[in-house]
Amino acid sequence: MSEETHPCFKRATIDTPQAGGKKKVWKGLKQILQTDKMLPWPEEAVTYSSLNPPPSFFPAKKYSDISGLIAPYTDPTTKLHYHNAEEYSTVKQLPMDLTAGYLALRGASSIVG
């Protein structure tokens, strides 16, 4: 009784092209989505296109309104994000209509009336 047992998740033999097996063909995401659309799935079935991830627990990253770099600072008067002191001096010199335009591009509520 010296017969070895293999775990149920492992195969005893591996199919390789040299051993006569077929080469594994990988599918891309577009092919998987196309296949999902063609198959008759029940309405409550979970597919790749129906997955909704939960919201992230990490805070959203802030990016500079001027350069697009990661912005650790926010100007308290204009609410614009900036990356360094050079950008801060640029933010301070901006007219209010440009400040409102930057906030509108970011989707923030405008503080300029």
Contact 80, 65 (CB under 8 A): yes
Q: For residue 73, list its beta bridge partners.
A: 82
- One-letter identity of residue 32: I
**Is the pLDDT score of 20 beyond 70?**
no
**pLDDT for 60-103, tens place per residue?**
899 999 999 999 999 999 999 999 999 999 999 999 999 999 99
Residue 113: pLDDT band with limits 50, 70, 90: very low
